[in-house]
A = this chain, B = another copy of it.
Amino acid sequence: MKKRQLLSILTLFLGLTSLNAQTQQDSIQLRKLYDVSLMNGQSYEWLRTLTKDIGPRLSGSAGAEKAVQWAKKELEALELDSVWLQPVMVPKWTRGTPETAYFTTGSLEKTNVPICALGGSVATPVNGLTAQVVEVQGLEDLARYGKEQLQGKIVFYNRPMQPDLIETFHAYGNAVDQRGAGAMEAAKYGAVGVIVRSMNLRQDDLPHAGAMSYGDLPDDARIPAAAISTNGATLLSKTLKSNPDTQFYYKMSCENHEDVQSYNVIGQITGSESPDEYMVVGGHMDSWDLGEGAQDDGTGVVQSMEVLRLLKATNYQPKHSIRVVLFMNEENGLRGGTKYAEVAKEKGQKHVFALESDSGGFTPRGFSFEIDDANFQQVLSWKNLFEPYLIHDFKQGHSGADVGPLAQEGIVLAGLRPDSQRYFDYHHAANDTFEAVSRRELELGAATMASLVYLFDSYGVK
């Protein structure tokens, strides 16, 4: 055997040994992260406080402010290297007194239906608004009816989320244009109001809130927009078939206010080797006002806090600077995510990785990545490390709204992908409470996130 041959075999052998040793070390570290999260986790008790003691946290509300102060204090207690508040101006919208709605047919008997104002909507007149209803299956139906049939009417968007789509976020994506742009588009045809079937795959009595926009419509052209429960939508639709002249009444006193001061909450473990390269893990602090903001996105908040706690609890000293960022105002403005990226750019802070949890605290299945090929191949090489935890779904796709503004050459963006089947049972509705969250599912998610952060920190972003 020639010396060169021997050398290359030796190199290969040493390489394999070192690879195996490294893989074994990774495997041990992941096991530690899951063990601490499942046996001695903090995320569930944090979630209890955030949902039960603090409660709903719409941007600009007292709850949002209370949550900011609470998170800062909790992160300080973790003895991170630094914790601070990053100021950001946010929109403020208030729901006012609870909405009422009913419809009447020829008999004039009132049938009450559960509605809620959509976020950003203007109010109805003080005594409410009554008009005939035109049911449509989406924005594209408006042109077909035209001004002559929509003028003075309430447009009722009733296209359901598609049950046959396996991932419920796809069904949401296919239906939510009705909520977001329904009022803006209907107003152009002279409609006086809109009601939108709730983004919910179940039949129940809960209206689901969520953001809408008037785009560039002048103030006096803006019409009130509400969500109606799926049961209410089904009943109304059925009634309209036999009574096309059904009158719908609703009253809402919601209001848009001046922007107010709020904050992103940030905590950092400073890196030992590349302190000027940043990795972010985050969720959003704000929530809609009807429930307790548990699955959206209390779980993402406490999981992100837990990631830094788990790294410390397992005595892992990161090479890069790892930040937890609790973004304000994802729901109706994305001001927090936008501000964070702006400040990072201004300060020339090089961000190489960002992970968001904003798809619920259900059993984690994997991640979706905005990522180049080299880094995606690296991720795929870690699949076997995740197998014991039943994490199997690694794909390219949308990461998260708040980390989105960080997108640029050289950064990997990731989103935790939990099981999505039950997410829209709770999303933006009154039942999005602490009780909707399974402790184990939440804790598995936190450990899964911490594992990905650990691996990217160890091996770096290519």
> Which residues of A come within 8 Å of B, CB atoms?
34-35, 38-39, 163-164, 166-168, 201-202, 363, 365, 388-390, 392-393, 419, 421-422, 425, 438-441, 444
- Cβ contact within 8 Å between A419 and B363: yes
Task: Give chain B nearest CB distance to A47 CB in angstroms.
Answer: 14
Task: Give chain B nearest CB distance to A428 CB in angstroms.
Answer: 18
Ordered by A's residue number, 6 sampled pairs between the chains whose C-beta atoms are within 8 Å are A34-B166, A35-B164, A163-B440, A363-B363, A363-B419, A363-B421
- Cβ contact within 8 Å between B393 and A166: no
- Cβ contact within 8 Å between A39 and B393: no
A166-B388 in contact given A363-B363, A439-B202 (Cβ < 8 Å): yes
Copies in the complex: 2
Task: Give chain B nearest CB distance to A212 CB in angstroms.
Answer: 26
CB-CB under 8 A from A425, the residues of chain B are: 438
A440-B201 in contact given A166-B34, A166-B388 (Cβ < 8 Å): yes
Residue of B nearest to A35 (CB): B164
Residue of B nearest to A31 (CB): B164
Task: Give chain B nearest CB distance to A18 CB in angstroms.
Answer: 28
CB-CB under 8 A from A419, the residues of chain B are: 363, 419
A263–B350 CA distance with the chains assembled, in angstroms = 69
CB-CB under 8 A from A389, the residues of chain B are: 166
- Cβ contact within 8 Å between A38 and B363: no
Q: Among B39, B390, B438, which residue has its beta carbon within 8 angstroms of that of A166?
A: B390
A249–B422 CA distance with the chains assembled, in angstroms = 42
Residue of B nearest to A41 (CB): B163
- Cβ contact within 8 Å between B439 and A164: no
Q: Among B34, B39, B421, B440, which residue has its beta carbon within 8 angstroms of that of A440?
A: B421
CB-CB under 8 A from A202, the residues of chain B are: 439
Task: Give chain B nearest CB distance to A90 CB in angstroms.
Answer: 34
- Cβ contact within 8 Å between A164 and B38: yes
CB-CB under 8 A from A167, the residues of chain B are: 390
Question: What 10 pairs between A and B have smallest CB-CB spacing?
Answer: A38-B163, A421-B440, A392-B392, A363-B419, A35-B164, A38-B164, A421-B441, A363-B421, A422-B438, A39-B163
CB-CB under 8 A from A38, the residues of chain B are: 163-164
CB-CB under 8 A from A365, the residues of chain B are: 390
Known: A38-B163, A363-B363. 9 other contacts (CB 8 A): A39-B164, A166-B390, A167-B390, A168-B440, A201-B440, A363-B419, A419-B419, A421-B440, A422-B441
A393–B164 CA distance with the chains assembled, in angstroms = 22
Task: Give chain B nearest CB distance to A420 CB in angstroms.
Answer: 9
A4–B439 CA distance with the chains assembled, in angstroms = 65
A390–B368 CA distance with the chains assembled, in angstroms = 14
Residue of B nearest to A165 (CB): B38
- Cβ contact within 8 Å between B440 and A422: yes
A390–B393 CA distance with the chains assembled, in angstroms = 8
Residue of B nearest to A447 (CB): B166
- Cβ contact within 8 Å between A34 and B363: no
Task: Give chain B nearest CB distance to A391 CB in angstroms.
Answer: 10
Residue of B nearest to A393 (CB): B390
Residue of B nearest to A440 (CB): B421
